Structure 1
Amino acid sequence: MGKFKLTAKESLMLVVDFQEKLMPAIDRREKIIHNAGLLLRLAGLLSIPVILTEQYPQGLGVTVPEIKDVLPEYAPVEKRLFSAFIPEVEQKLKELNRSQIIVTGTETHVCVFQTVRDLVAARYEVYLVRDAVGSRFKENYQSGLELMRDLGAIITNTETVIFDLLQVAEGPAFKEMSKLLK
């Protein structure tokens, strides 16, 4: 059952392609951005490392301000491949030595799916946050979720991740997140 228990010391947040020219087309974008922001705030409170990617920013723009503004540091990894599991990200993952990867981003059925596929193949525990990922079309979103579940990723949601990482209903991180979840 250890596979289904997140811990702050083993977790890392991977934020895939929340970009200016892509997000207006994403179904449920406000909710997805909001939930990713909550997770990033928690990452800051619990000192969970964050890796942020941008797919061809010259064409798709940079990360949207709502995500950029809650990052402890804006240091995107630029990519051209759809998968975010590129050599630069793979190297950062090795350096940070975390086994649990919490994934948010767009698009669910393309970049997120290919990233998750590669992370699972590399034997990481992948926690895909279903209400913090999105696609332009509901069918593609649903297909992406099904594919990732079939691969062995754990499909979860924002509040489950938050409370699993907090573990107890006390302390500064709990109080801060409780305010944000109301």
Structure 2
Amino acid sequence: MSTDNTVCIVVDIQERLTPVLNGHQLFIEKSCQMLQGLQALEIPVLAAEQYPKGLGHTVAAIKEQLGDVPLFEKTKFSAWQPEAEAFVRQHGAQNIILIGVEAHVCMLQTAADLRAQGFGVYVPVECTTSRTVENKENGLAQMQNLGAVVSNIESLLFMLLKDAKHPAFKTISKLIQ
């Protein structure tokens, strides 16, 4: 995984869904932290929204962090849709960092589809959740069994940095303190 072959897909962090999720406030905070780190590393980001007419749009804190990144609507649970495929191919990505919800539904189905296409999939454990802890743990276990790497924010950001001489090192170091 490197800054040249990695993108991030943000899955369904939406207004009407997020408040019912386990630990949703910390999840939003950590997802913003991850997005800040990815922006410092200039990792391309794409966002998906599951049926926004019913679930609302991306929550304000995440939307603010995303800025003007491309966003697409979906009704299928997996975010591996034509818009995501075009984005991933456009950036020549081999690895995808997934953040979002719910771990055992949309995140799991997205990870399964990406793995079936041969992509490396990385999920920072702080940046996904479900309505229950059990569903989150089950979703993460299933993703790992599919070959996704279940990791954490610090490990993934430093994996992308590779060297303390990287121009974003100080920014990332301050971010994870």
Give the alignment partner of residue 127 of structure 2, picking from 126, 129, 132.
132
Distance 2:125 2:78 in 1: 18
**2:153 is the counterpart of 1:167:** no
Contact 1:68 1:74 in 2 (8 A): no
Structure 2 residues not aligned, in runs of 5+: none
SS of 1:102's equivalent in the other structure is: strand
Distance 2:70 2:8 in 1: 14
Question: Once the two structures are superposed, what CA deviation does each residue of 1:122-158 show, in whole Å capped at 9, x if it has no partner?
Answer: 0000011111100001111111011111111111111
Distance 1:177 1:82 in 2: 32
The TM-score normalised by the length of structure 1 is: 0.92
The TM-score normalised by the length of structure 2 is: 0.95
Name the % identity.
40
Aligned partner of 1:16 in structure 2 is 11
**2:33 is the counterpart of 1:38:** yes
Distance 1:155 1:80 in 2: 26
Contact 2:120 2:148 in 1 (8 A): yes
Give the alignment partner of residue 54 of structure 2, picking from 54, 59, 65.
59
SS of 1:113's equivalent in the other structure is: helix
RMSD: 1.3
Could you tell me how far 1:89 is from its partner in structure 2?
1.1
Distance 2:69 2:53 in 1: 17
SS of 1:82's equivalent in the other structure is: coil
